[in-house]
Structure 1
Amino acid sequence: MSDTFLDPVQSRINAYWSARAPEYDASQLERQQRPGAEQVWGDVWTAALPPAPADVLDLGTGSGNVALLLARLGYAVTGVDLADGMLAEARRKAEEMSRAPQFVEGDAVAPPFPAGSFDALTARYLLWTLRDPADALRAWRELLRPGGVLVAVDSLWYPEGIDAAEELAAANPHDDEFRVAYDAEARARLPLAEASDIQRTADMLTHAGFADVTVDELPEIMDLDRRYGVAPGHRVQLQYRLTARA
């Protein structure tokens, strides 16, 4: 394994998400299986992705729900993540599919694939917790074939700072573990974790060499969250789709 796997900040983040994987995935699946949810999310992705069966890399795939959805829509999907617990959940669900994604252990900051391997990259809820994003985004651009596209969905989860999010902390049964994983050392490496303007993320994409960077608000996802609820420690809020081309 690369020395990247020994990075202390990333190791703490991996441990947090691995420990939470079964609970996190159950919560995600519960909302995903509500009427209309899969259609809405499918439209969010396919509106910006090239047609299937394009080759897609799902970065920070977690328990694989985006990768599995895209595979059901006909894409050739690879998912990459460092959290063993999350990958175990993803692989378990993939066993039930005839055209399953391939799930690979690897660092989203430096994905273990040759340049020009993919037509598209996807990332959901990764940018805020992405270590050293300037380096990561440059590496991502190299993975795309000419004209390839990055499609990322995220939000401004902690615009007043993680330490200031007292209301959310009270609702999160894992707050102590979260604050260990996302301590001051980690936050210094995660400049998007406490961003208060989505334009900051868009600007990082441009600085990394991406072109045609666009930001779309996703009120349809906000509506789903109002109807079906959000994960503990979160609130209903606007999410965004960021699209950029190589």
Structure 2
Amino acid sequence: MEEIKKEISSYWTGRSEDFARLREEELNSEMAGLWLKELEKGLPEGEGLRILDVGTGCGFFSVLLAKLGHQVTGIDLTPAMIEKAKQIARERGVEADFEVMDAEHPDFPEGTFDVIVSRNLTWTLPHPAEAYGEWLRVLKPGGVLLNFDGDYGKEEFTEEMESLSADHAHRRLSCGQLEECDKIKDQLSISAMRRPAWDVEVLKNLGCVDMNVDSEVYRRIYASEDSPFYNPTPIFRLQARKAGER
């Protein structure tokens, strides 16, 4: 594993306990319904869709989608995150597969999945264009990519903390953790890109069709700045379809 990925995995290993508690709180809150509504908007018709949740973390998207009856596989680079995802799914009686796997190199045959979903992952990737290519490889012709992300590369997390409410979930992070996150982020080429315009251009060059960017999703999800889950970085939903028929 290259050095930057070791740093990334180590950082998220250190955050896995608190991150899991936060995801459980989110699953128990109105946020679960809000996110599920946004996911359902982009899902193709059909029951039991094969869905890959890339960078699943502690399995938030995987749990939501598996509860709908879809066949969900969640992957993450960090073993500690995958263990937490398995535990959360088990405690909620949800059937989903979770595997430790590099998001930039998903180890699945070509055309395995109907849908690929991701939340707050692309901005952490050392080789995001390569990742997009690999995600499309394992997506079936006509399959859908739903990527929820933000232009986090423009943010300074240590400064951002001052604008958050006293009970915000990120208040649990230490100054050291915030500084480490900023340090990793600033090493990544995607942090210098203009997003989501950069993502759209990459996917267009990879042959995607029916691309759509929803820049208002953050207003629907994070309507209240007093919410402990409030995200001050405007997120977007990037939807694209792999050329071909399902």
Tell me the TM-score normalised to structure 1 length: 0.84
User: Does 2:222 match 1:222?
Assistant: yes
Structure 2 spans left out of the alignment, 5+ residues: 163-170
Task: Indicate whether 1:168 and 2:166 are aligned.
Answer: no
Give the corresponding residue for 2:17: 22
Q: Distance in 1 between matches of 2:181 and 2:160?
A: 16
Structure 1 residues 24 and 195, CA, compared in 2 at 3 Å: closer, same or farther? farther
Gaps of 5+ in 1: 1-5
Shift of 1:42: 0.7
Tell me which amino acid in the other structure corresponds to 1:18: T
Deviation at 1:211, TM superposition (A): 1.9
Matched to 1:221, the amino acid is: I
Q: 1:208 to 1:179 in 2, by over 3 A?
A: farther
The aligned counterpart of 2:211 is: 213
The count of residues paired between Structure 1 and Structure 2 equals: 231
Q: Structure 1: how far apart are the matches of 2:213 and 2:108?
A: 27
Work out whether residues 158 and 178 of structure 2, in 8 Å CA contact, stay in contact via their aligned partners in 1.
no
Cα offsets for 1:180-227 (capped at 9, x unmatched): 46536x644x3333545422222222233322221012021121x525
CA distance in 2, matches of 1:39, 1:131: 32
Is 1:63 aligned to residue 58 of structure 2?
A: yes
Q: Do the aligned partners of residues 169 and 7 (structure 1) sit closer, same or farther apart at CA in structure 2, a change above 3 Å counting?
A: farther
Alpha-carbon shift at residue 157 of structure 1 (Å): 2.2
Match of 1:228, as an amino acid? S
The residue type paired with residue 50 of structure 1 is P
Distance of aligned partners of 1:62 and 1:178 in 2 relative to their CA distance in 1, 3 Å threshold: same
Indicate the percent of aligned positions where both proteins have the same amino acid: 29
Whole-Å separation in 2 of the counterparts to 1:56 and 1:77: 5
- Equivalent residues of 1:116, 1:143 under 8 A apart: yes
Work out which of the residue numbers 240, 243, 246 in structure 1 matches 2:236: 240
Contact kept? 1:82, 1:105, Cα under 8 Å? yes
1:40-80 CA distance string (max 9 Å, x none) = 11110011012331000000111011101100111110001
How many Å apart are 1:229 and its aligned residue? Answer: 2.4
CA deviation vs aligned residue, 1:128-185 (integer Å, no higher than 9, x gap):
112201111111111011100100111122425x4xx54226657334245446536x
C-alpha separation in 2, matches of 1:79 and 1:142: 17
CA contact under 8 A between 2:110 and 2:138: conserved in structure 1?
Answer: yes
Which residue type is aligned with residue 42 of structure 1?
L
Aligned position for 1:49: 43
- In structure 2, the residue matched to 1:139 is 134
1:3 maps to none
Measured in 2, the distance between the counterparts of 1:147 and 1:61 equals: 23
Instruction: Kindly state the Cα deviation for residue 38 of structure 1 after the two structures are TM-superposed.
Output: 1.8
Alpha-carbon distance in 2 for matches of 1:187, 1:18: 20
- What residue number does 1:31 align with? 26
